[in-house]
Chain A
Amino acid sequence: MTYLGTALAVLGAALAAILSGMGSAKGVGLVGEAAAGVVSEDPSKFGKVLILEILPGTQGLYGFLTAFLLLARIGLLNGEIATNPLTVSRGLMLLAACLPIATVGYFSAIAQGRAAASGVGVVAKKADQSGKAITMAALVETYAVLTLLVSLLSIMSIVNYTA
């Protein structure tokens, strides 16, 4: 039971990385399919569709960032955790702190993938309107960024918290 708190915190880090990574993979994959459809007809549009394809990939990065920060702050990366394990309550709090980016990251990446894939259709027909397509897809990012902030701030506060 000594390491249950630590295990819960690591579970949170894993969920943040796995779920947001899965969402990004789905989103980027979807836009990639649409982008391939356009590039197969007009290779000159590769640059414009590439920007759209990158957009849903950010949630995966946010999940990775959250997981890395958590693992570093609890001392798992430098081995300090062995001498100073987390309590169960703190582990649970860290797990909860990871959930915003894990869940919203997953769903927003898929939603952004759909929006960006639709934008690829806009680029296919009206390349000069690519800015609008990128803006529409980028707006979905807002909610991933907000939850990233919530998760990061929570992790930092919980680790620094002394009862």
Chain B
Amino acid sequence: MKIKDTDYAFGVAKIRANELNLLTQVDFDSLIAANDYKSALRILEDKGWAVPEKSTSFASMLEKFEDDTWQLVCACLPVVSTFDSLILPNDFYNLKAAIKAVFSDLEPNDYFIRPFVTDPALIAEAVTNKKFDILPKHLKDTAVEAYDAVVRVGSGRLADIIIDKASLNTALASAKNSGNQALTDLAELSCACANIKIAFRSAETGRDTEFMLRCMADCDTVDNKRLAFAAADGGREAIAEYLQFTPYSEAGEKLAESAVAFEKWCDDSVMGSIGSKRLAAFGPEPIIGYYLTCLAAVKNVRIILSAKLNGVSSEEIRKRVRNINV
């Protein structure tokens, strides 16, 4: 059944009401300017966050916020699978965690993340018992290939590459399949950013083009071959030069600035990709925008609190904090 934009009327209105509770840029400025970790926590507590009482570990607070956000998003969607492209990468992360945990004799459940499309218990069972047939189609082949890479080649790095590439390709295919342009643009942007990162890191570590092409995800807006050859031949400058001919010309400038600036640009671009579409009265875009804003808020809170715990200056924190448009 085709979903109409008006089928999101309930969800969009619910999201609008919840947008009032989001942390704004002003709130992040206050958090950055906070004297210490405890002061920052107090600001978050005033904004309704479930801050930890004694512990300096704020991971559970962020996990709870992420869980609550996802539950809200699910309540707002007529069909939850519409957003699969946003959470499919978590399945691949869980697969990676399961393989590493099994080979390190660790408990996989401690490393799984939420939300997910495939139950992590199923992934753990498949990897532990080598019963990959029980996995859904999007994970099965990747799991076999990554598992073999560890067992036969003895390369955990190769397994990571296989899983990361499959994760991006699967998310992009799922986004295209959803028929929503905003989700497709977002997945395409994620692939492009990942490929640029691969080219940049490979150039810094002297990797060859074959390696780069093996790692890079399918991407319509970046020519992987030209990007890989630019990285191998001329390093950072050549990458920036090639990117001038793509929609990511700004990425080249950020790369020239620093890796931190580039990482921030990637995250800000993800937020920016939804742009004014989030103001629409109907359709999934406002819900996508809300979800992305919440993820960016979690990232910012993590950066700020970690920095406060380690006595990092406000100026340094400001360079890393992502833009928030509420």
A37 with B281, Cβ < 8 A, contacts A30-B9, A117-B9, A125-B19 known? no
Q: A124 and B9: CB pair below 8 A?
A: no
B265 is an interface residue with CB less than 8 A from chain A: no
A118 with B14, Cβ < 8 A, contacts A30-B9, A33-B9, A34-B9 known? no
Chain B residues near A34 (CB-CB < 8 A): 9-10, 12-13
Q: Per-position contact with B for A12-48: 1 when CB-CB < 8 Å, else 0?
A: 0000000000000000001101111110111001000
A120 is an interface residue with CB less than 8 A from chain B: yes
How far does the alpha carbon of A120 sit from the alpha carbon of B17 in the complex, in Å? 10
A36 (CB) vs chain B CBs: closest residue: B10
B181 is an interface residue with CB less than 8 A from chain A: no
B11 is an interface residue with CB less than 8 A from chain A: yes
Q: A114 and B281: CB pair below 8 A?
A: yes
How far does the alpha carbon of A119 sit from the alpha carbon of B5 in the complex, in Å? 16
Cβ < 8 Å to A, chain B residues 57-104: 76
Assign chain A's interface to a size class: 10 to 19
How far does the alpha carbon of A48 sit from the alpha carbon of B135 in the complex, in Å? 49
How far does the alpha carbon of A81 sit from the alpha carbon of B281 in the complex, in Å? 49
Q: B13 and A37: CB pair below 8 A?
A: yes
A121 is an interface residue with CB less than 8 A from chain B: yes
Count: A-B pairs, CB below 8 Å: 59
B6 is an interface residue with CB less than 8 A from chain A: yes
B281 (CB) vs chain A CBs: closest residue: A118
Q: B17 and A35: CB pair below 8 A?
A: no
Q: B6 and A37: CB pair below 8 A?
A: no
Q: A117 and B281: CB pair below 8 A?
A: yes
Q: B6 and A124: CB pair below 8 A?
A: no
Q: A121 and B11: CB pair below 8 A?
A: no
B214 is an interface residue with CB less than 8 A from chain A: no
Q: Quote the shortest CB–CB distance from A150 to chain B (angstroms).
A: 29
How far does the alpha carbon of A124 sit from the alpha carbon of B16 in the complex, in Å? 6
Chain B residues near A42 (CB-CB < 8 A): 17
Q: Which of A40, A118, A121 has the most CB of B within 10 A?
A: A121
B282 is an interface residue with CB less than 8 A from chain A: yes
Chain A residues near B16 (CB-CB < 8 A): 37-38, 120-121, 124-125
Q: A117 and B13: CB pair below 8 A?
A: yes
Cβ < 8 Å to B, chain A residues 107-125: 114, 117-118, 120-121, 124-125
How far does the alpha carbon of A118 sit from the alpha carbon of B19 in the complex, in Å? 15
Q: Of A37, A45, A118, A125, which contacts B10 at CB under 8 A?
A: A37
How far does the alpha carbon of A34 sit from the alpha carbon of B282 in the complex, in Å? 10
Q: Quote the shortest CB–CB distance from B281 to chain A (angstroms).
A: 4
A interface with B by C-beta (< 8 Å): 30-31, 33-38, 40-42, 45, 114, 117-118, 120-121, 124-125
B interface with A by C-beta (< 8 Å): 6, 9-20, 76, 281-282
29 cross-chain CB contacts under 8 A: A31-B9, A34-B9, A34-B10, A34-B12, A36-B10, A37-B10, A37-B11, A37-B17, A37-B76, A38-B13, A38-B14, A38-B16, A38-B17, A40-B17, A41-B18, A42-B17, A45-B17, A114-B281, A117-B6, A117-B9, A117-B13, A117-B281, A118-B282, A120-B13, A124-B20, A125-B16, A125-B17, A125-B19, A125-B20
New A-B contacts (17) at CB < 8 Å, excluding given A37-B76, A38-B14? A30-B6, A30-B9, A34-B10, A36-B13, A37-B9, A37-B11, A37-B14, A37-B16, A38-B16, A40-B14, A42-B17, A117-B281, A121-B13, A121-B281, A124-B13, A124-B19, A125-B16
